[in-house]
Structure 1
Amino acid sequence: MQVISLISGKGGVGKTTLTSNLAIALSQRNKRVLVIDLDPQNAVRHHLGMDPNDDAGLVREGIFPEVIFESPFGVDFIPFGRVTAEELLEFEAGLEARPTWVATALQGLQSIGYDYILLDTPPGATVYLPQALNAAARALIVVLTDAASYSSLRKILKLLAEYKKDPANRMATTHILLNQMQEDSELAQQVRAAMMDSYGSKMAPMVIHRDALVPEALAYERSVLQYDPDAQASRDIQHLADWLASRN
């Protein structure tokens, strides 16, 4: 069971969309995949076909086999859940007091036989980040090829270095993944080159290109992989899935 955390230094990088599509790509390789939404935005459910009126999620139900949803895309998931402000404050206080809560809960899922568990997290240094890092052996830092992402990358890497000093943290590998890359943008090419110069050994060996078919597929409640398997983003995500599978 390989646990992968998808994290970011800033919002708006397309991390949840990428997480959901990556999970589907891994499932298409006959892997059993679970996505756990650790982001209070509770957006994974929109990508994996959950009834929008359903309030269930890990805040109220926890992480147990009985609360796992089956998506129509061959991927299981546990949503964050819709909660009140008071419930959220209480939940986050509990996470801060028990930084290995997620890691401990995942041990109870081992009998199900998941090949991959993907953890979607909110951006930045939140209470959810140590939970994800303590549970995962690998982290993918999702960034855009813009100046703001380049600036935030140094901060998130410094933060990860501090977390890895904790003996409870089992994360062994960190890679930076460029998302929504625009090949025809000079600025994007410059930022990509700067990231390669600064963090070459940490860069994933592929990029996910910006593709208008990704939001179009979501509008039709489908993944881009199924909506158009030959789309540029579909091919990129398939490449990412193959690369991750080869590194088990």
Structure 2
Amino acid sequence: MGTVLAVVSQKGGVGKTTTAINLASALAQRGRKTLLIDVDPQGAVRHGMGLAPDAGVAGLADLLAGTHELQDVVQATPLPWLRVLLAGSVSEAAEHETYTANLADSTRLGELFDRARGRGYIVIVDSPPGLGAVTRRVLAHSQHVVVPLQCEPLALQTTTQILRAVREAAMANPALVLDGILLTMLEAGNDVSQRVAAYVREQLPAELLFDVAIPRTMASIDAFAAGQPVILRAPDDAAARAYQRLAELLEPRLA
């Protein structure tokens, strides 16, 4: 039996999608059967993975709408053990509303997760930023959650909210476990970034924090722009090594 891990954040721009992409890729590199699902209607996974330049490609939205079958929308990747399910045809504001309503009111997402788990997949879910209906639906059907936290002062204001939301979700879904908060975009030469990281480590219990932080590197920025996980494009980069370490830490928990 597989498992579902949701990557969630209170705000965008914290490295959520980059984390989902690289964690899924790192697990696949380790020989784990992995399915990356983009639940965010913004559809950033397709850019970061270099898949489907046509925004109208079918994906999760079409699966939820009942117009496509799973085998028609899951895409192969250069990694033999990694498959990707993109967000699908969600380009206009009205489509976003329809997608959100379909997902919030449907049992299809839970059925999809169960189906993938039954096939032995580790499912990595890139959730929308924020704690809206879609993210809450994802948490209701997940077993694990990772929270990226950008090393900047504004991000600290969201920590309490996201932890409260995860705690509330776990009350309704006792199988849900917070694996940890992941510090992201840590800049070695930036005093503010370093102070934020130090403050988080001082204020939060050690068991809530991963002992690895993701540095901000030009290689990781370039990799996303090029449509590749940094662990594939620049495997010796500090960010790539950090994501490999994250996969190493999580793999036993996801077994």
- Cα distance change of structure 1 residues 219 and 162 upon mapping to structure 2, 3 Å threshold: closer
Contiguous gaps of at least 5 residues in structure 2? none
Structure 1 residues 35-44 or 182-191, which shifts more?
A: 182-191
Residue 23 (structure 1) aligns with = 24
Counterparts of 1:104 and 1:42, CA distance in 2: 21
Q: What amino acid sits opposite 1:57 in the alignment?
A: G
Q: Are positions 1:214 and 2:220 aligned together?
A: yes
Q: Offset of 1:101 from its aligned partner?
A: 3.9
* Structure 1 range deviating more: 58-67 or 195-204: 58-67
Which consecutive unaligned segments of at least 5 residues does structure 1 have?
A: none
Q: What residue in structure 1 maps to residue 83 of structure 2?
A: 76
Contact 1:59 1:91 in 2 (8 A): yes
Runs of 4 or more above 6 Å deviation: none
CA distance in 2, matches of 1:162, 1:228: 39
- CA distance 1:239–1:174, shift in 2 (3 Å): closer
Identity level (%) = 29
Q: Please, which of 192, 199, 206 is the counterpart of residue 204 of structure 2?
A: 199
- Normalising by structure 2, we get a TM-score of 0.89
How far did residue 210 of structure 1 move?
Answer: 0.9
Structure 2 residue 114 is matched with structure 1 residue 107: yes
**C-alpha displacement of 1:93:** 1.8
Q: Does 1:57 align with 2:59?
A: yes
In 2, Cα distance between the equivalents of 1:145 and 1:36? 26
Q: Secondary structure at the match of 2:125?
A: strand
2:246 is matched with 240
SS in 2 for 1:88: helix
User: Given that residues 35 and 78 in structure 1 are in contact (C-alpha distance below 8 angstroms), is that contact kept between their aligned partners in structure 2?
Assistant: yes
Q: What pairs up with 1:119-158 in 2 under 5 angstroms?
A: 119-158=125-164
Larger mean Cα displacement after TM superposition, 78-87 or 148-157: 78-87
Cα shift at 1:18: 1.7
Deviations 1:18-52 (A, max 9, x none): 21111111111111110000101111111223221
Q: Which residue does 1:93 correspond to in 2? A: 101
| Paired AA for residue 185 in structure 2 | Q
Equivalent position SS for 2:212: strand
Partner of 1:186: 191
Query: How big is each residue's C-alpha offset from its partner over 1:107-130, in whole Å with a ceiling of 9 and x where there is no partner?
Result: 22245332x110001111111111
- Report the aligned-residue RMSD: 1.9
What SS is found at the alignment partner of 2:214?
strand
Count residues in correspondence.
245
Question: What is the match of residue 2 of structure 1?
Answer: 3
**SS at 1:165's partner residue?**
helix
The structure 2 residue matched to 1:172, chosen from 174, 177, 184, is 177
Q: Is the 8 A contact 2:75 2:84 kept in 1?
A: yes
